Amino acid sequence: MKTEFLKKLGIDEGVIAHIMAENGRDIQREKERTQAAADSLEEAQAKIAALQERISAFDGDKAVIETLTAENGALKETIAKRDAEEAQKQQIDALRSQFDDASQGRKFLNSYTEAAIFEQFKAAMNEGEREAKAVFEAITGGVEGIFQSQNPPAEIPGVNPGLEVQFDEFRSMGYTERVRLFNDDPALYRELKNLSQNF
């Protein structure tokens, strides 16, 4: 992440330092996850090698051979499944990077809207060779109410200014949506609920 870009946005250096620290922790967590997956794969491969040795040792025992062969097949399926999951994750990560670049820093109204647009973006990109920015604009172009306003909302005394962005949407939410918001972000739910009670 380039600090110069964040500085151009007028973000305080203390906030930038916090963002960079969080980014560093995210990278470290991803490295640890990747290493754990590699260690797990290596362990499974070692088990396969050991099973193959045991199969050879009990060459004359049909029942033992069948049991060990089944275990060997199950381990191979586990490895194949893990490889497929990792490949899928890498594909999604690549699409997410293209999606973020295509959005050009625009902020979505909320996480639900962003997730819905990203799903449409993934489906469109998976249809074939397409340019990410063109796909993004085709999905979002001319659609109102999916991005946060470029003009900051007027501050209400005693209220977190960032909440006004989501306030109108919260008031129009149904019961199920409010339950989902409460489960995802209890603190935000309480603040928005308290704000709605004042109007």
DSSP string covering 89-110: HHHHHHHHHHHHHHHTTPPBSS
Put simply, whether the predicted model's pTM sits higher than 0.85 gets the answer no
* Token pair for 108: 């979505």
Burial of residue 121 (number of CB atoms within 10 Å: 0-12, 13-18, 19+): buried
Q: Higher model confidence: residue 48 or residue 99?
A: 99
Q: Higher model confidence: residue 138 or residue 44?
A: 138
Range of the domain at 119: 105-148
Together in a domain, 82 and 92: yes
Q: Is residue 65 part of a domain?
A: yes
Q: Is residue 156 part of a domain?
A: no
114 in Cβ contact with 139 (< 8 Å): no
Number of Cβ within a 10 Å radius of residue 68: 20
Report the share of the chain in percent with pLDDT over 70: 70
Q: Is residue 23 part of a domain?
A: yes
Together in a domain, 87 and 133: no
d(CA 40, CA 35) in angstroms, rounded, equals 9
Q: Residue 35 is inside which H or E element, if any?
A: helix 13-57
Q: Is residue 154 part of a domain?
A: no
* pLDDT interval class at 30 (50, 70, 90): confident
Each residue's pLDDT tens digit, 121-173: 988 888 876 798 998 999 888 888 788 876 555 444 444 444 444 666 777 77
Together in a domain, 32 and 82: yes
Q: Is residue 155 part of a domain?
A: no
Together in a domain, 56 and 40: yes
Together in a domain, 77 and 121: no
Beta bridge partners of 108: 147
Count of the separate structural domains present in the chain = 3
Together in a domain, 94 and 117: no
Together in a domain, 97 and 62: yes
- Residue 73 pLDDT more than 80? yes
Hunting for tokens 């005394």 — which residue is that? 157
Q: Is residue 131 part of a domain?
A: yes
Q: Higher model confidence: residue 29 or residue 82?
A: 82
Q: Is residue 153 part of a domain?
A: no
Together in a domain, 90 and 19: yes
Together in a domain, 143 and 168: no
Together in a domain, 129 and 79: no
Together in a domain, 10 and 91: yes
What local confidence, expressed as pLDDT, does residue 170 receive? 73
Together in a domain, 119 and 77: no
